[in-house]
Each structure stands twice: as C-alpha cells, then as structure tokens.
Amino acid sequence: MAMLQFFIAVDVTVVNVALPSIGADFGVDGHALTWVVVGYTMTGGGLLMLGGRLGDVLGRRRVLLLGTTVFGGASLLAGLAPSFALLVTARLLQGAGEAIALPAAMSVIVLMFPEGPRRSRALSVWAAVASCGLVLGFVVSGFITELFGWRWIFLVSVPFILVVLGAVIFLVPGERPVGRGPLDLPGSFLLIVAPLLFTFGVVEAGEANGTMPWLAPVALAGSAAAGGMFFRVERRSRNPLVPLRIFRYRPRVLANLATVLVSAALSTSFLLFTYYLQDRLDAGPLQAGLTMLPLAVSLITASVLVPRVLERWGARLCVLAGICCTALAMGAIALVSHFGATGLAMVPAMVFIAAGMCLGIVGLQYIAVIKVTEDDAGIASGIQRAADQLGGSTGITLYVGIGFAPALGGTDPFLASSGLALAGLAVAGLVTWRISVPTATMTAESMT
C-alpha cells in the first residue's frame, strides 16, 4: 500500500520541473501545459469519493486491483504519448486510477489496524510516504529529465506498479461486497465540474487585461451552483456518492474542513519553494530539487516521532501543533523572499513544513476515520483523501493564483501568497480547537 501511495504522490509533483521540456517537444505554451498538472489533481480529487464508494460496494481488493491497473496503464500511455492531447488524456486517466485505488488502499489500512497506537503508526507511515513522494517528485523529475528525458518520469513507475499488483493479489484478502446498487454518476460529475470551474474562474480573475472579463464571475457562479446541486443530488439519491449520514459525526466534518485548509497551505509552500529557487535564484531543475532534500529528510524524521506525539498529546493537540509549525514556515518563506536570501535560508521553513505536514495531516486523518464502520470505511477514507487533494489544488489555485496575478501589480507575490495561506491556517486552527475527540479510542489501546 505504501509503494502505491509513493508513486501516486510522486506523480503529483514529478511533472513540474519537466514541463518546459514537454512544452518544447510538443510545441505548446505554458497556458496549455497547466492542464498536465491540473488535469491529474482535479480529476483525482473529484473522483476520490466515487472510488471510496466503489470499494464499499464492490469490495476493496477488487477495486484496488482495478485502480492500480488503470494508474499503471495510464503511466505507460503518458510515457509513450505521441501527441500532447494524448498526454493530457493519460494524465486524466492517471487521476482516475488514483481516485479508484487510494481510498481502497487507505480503507485496507484502517480495517487492518484498530484505533489506537497501531493505527496511528500505520497512518504515520502512510502520510510520510506520501509526503516524501511529493518532495522527491521534484528531485526525481530534475534528475530523470536532465539525464534520460521527460518520458521516463512516467515510465519509471510501471515496473513498481506491477509489483503492487502482485502484492495485492497474494497478500490482500478478499471480502464480501456490500451490494451492487447503482452508482451516483451525476454526483461524481458535479464533484469534478465544481473545482474545475473554480480554478478557471480564479485564474481568469487574476488576469490584468482579460479580453472577456465576464468569464471569471460566470465560472465562479457555475462552480457555486455545481456545488449546491451536488448536495441536492446527494440528499435525493437512493445510492448517494456521499451518504449524508457520514456527516452526522461532527468531529469528522470539522477534521475534513481543517484538512482542506491545512493542505492548501502545505501545497502552496511546495510551489513557493520551487518558484523562489528557480525564478528568484535562477537555480537549475536538478539543483532546485537537491536543495529540497532537507525537506524529505525532515519528513522521514518527523514520521518516526509523530506516533509517539499523537499517543501522548492526543489528536487535537497534535493537529494544532502542526498548524502552528506550518504557519511558522509560511512566515519564514515570506521573510526569506522579502530579503532575497540564499536557498539555504529556506531550510528552517522546510523543517517547519515537514513537522506541520506530519503532525497536522496524520492527526486529521486519525480524527476523520474515528467510529467508521466496515460499510463506510471506504467512503470515509475517500472523503478525507478528497479533502486533502482538492484542498491542495484549491490552495495553489487561490493562494498562488491571487498572489502571482498580474492584477496585483507591484505587490510581492511571495508575501501575498504566504499571507493568504496564514489566514487560512488561522481558520483551520479555530476549526480544530472546536473538535472534541474521545480519548478512550487512544488510551484503551495503549493500556492493553
């Protein structure tokens, strides 16, 4: 499960450094290249809850095999794509494969490890592997693109995906499917349309000299309408994509809301790191990736310590500490960019981000799956993963899109983006403070 998580996480960031090479090969501009990134994250995030429901309805092992196969096949297609249109199609399929496979993988972990220290350790490994995959994606992209060409950033994962498929076949036990009712396809469609329209609207709103100024408000209004229609469809559907009963447990709702805000700041920090190193300091792709290695080392170190912190402090205090560390990191990024310091000055911010990611996300993951039943483990995991991924995509769109928008004129984009992220983290802190987590779920396991 961790190997699958690693390569799915790598594919979120591995294309960033390779984008100029992809554009040169296919003769496309930067505006078109954004769909290589957005197509993957938005499709994956929008379909994650459908993937979670598939696991509950059809069986987690079967859905895990399906999603892993789709992801591996799409990776092969992306590496061999003869045209840009086919590459974008492959990225969309990668996002679909991720959405099908990840909730099933996470629900397997949740059901294998009972609430308490064992589950916290398992989720810590899960989150640390994902975080390291996101960070190492930059390094791998620079190294492979410079030495072998951009196509190998996709092809390198194919043999490892085959290993995952073999492991699932032999190691993951099958289970009886809950049922075969009709799937909520309208809800899935609306869940993809809403974030895509939001992204388009924010990008258009940031253009200083837009030729069609009415596009931005229309897209944003369409996003809000799609979101409202989604909840209406879910309330009336006999087999909803997201059963509204899952939101009756208040701590789970607040944990997912906080996840959106924390992930938005964390994803923004990754992009600000690379922008500062490559645009402000003129570092090459490989040099920029290597400069971020302290972040990966810090993530591994933090992942070892987080289970003990989670057991001793409890999930809520763990999340609050993670939010504070992330806020310190965003402040450090703003200061370093303001004074034009060297890349080494970003190391403290990287350490704070690592601590914030492990403490915050692991704690929120733990809260989001408290009191789930076997019937709802997949959808609860899918909601948490969707909150994480769509939160990160929305954060990049909103914080970085507004911060670096031409319409802001002479405002320091790093300062503006960091300020917006800090505001979101303040709201996340208030939301987390209102979460009431039963201590028995952790202490009972510790005592036995």
Task: Give average pLDDT by consecutive 10-residue segment, the chain, 448 residues.
Answer: 85 76 78 70 78 76 90 93 91 89 82 77 77 74 81 90 90 67 76 80 64 76 89 81 76 90 88 80 76 79 80 86 94 88 86 88 83 69 79 80 69 86 94 76 36
Q: What is the pLDDT of residue 78?
A: 92
Question: Is residue 1 within 8 Å of residue 50, measured between CB atoms?
Answer: no
- Residue 211, both tokens: 């030729």
Residue 148 has a CB neighbour count (10 Å cut-off) of: 12
DSSP 437: -
Angle of CA points 347, 402, 322, to nearest 5°: 40
27 conformational bin, left if phi > 0, alpha if psi -120 to 50, beta if neither: left
What are the residues whose beta carbons fall under 8 Å from the beta carbon of 124, sequence distance 6 or more?
A: 303, 306, 307, 310, 358, 362
Structural tokens at position 181: 């009712």
Structure tokens at 257: 């809301």
Q: Per this entry, what is the length of the chain?
A: 448
Q: Are 320 and 397 in contact (CB under 8 A)?
A: no
Cα 204 from Cα 401, distance rounded (Å) = 9
**What's the pLDDT at 406?**
65
Q: CA-to-CA distance for 391 and 425, rounded, in angstroms?
A: 12
Which is nearest to 154 in space by CA: 8, 363, 270? 8
Q: Alpha helix locations (H) across 156-292?
A: 158-171, 185-205, 215-236, 250-275, 285-291
Q: What is the pLDDT of residue 126?
A: 78
CATH homologous superfamily for 2-183+241-447?
A: MFS general substrate transporter like domains (1.20.1250.20)
Predicted confidence at residue 331, as pLDDT, reads 93
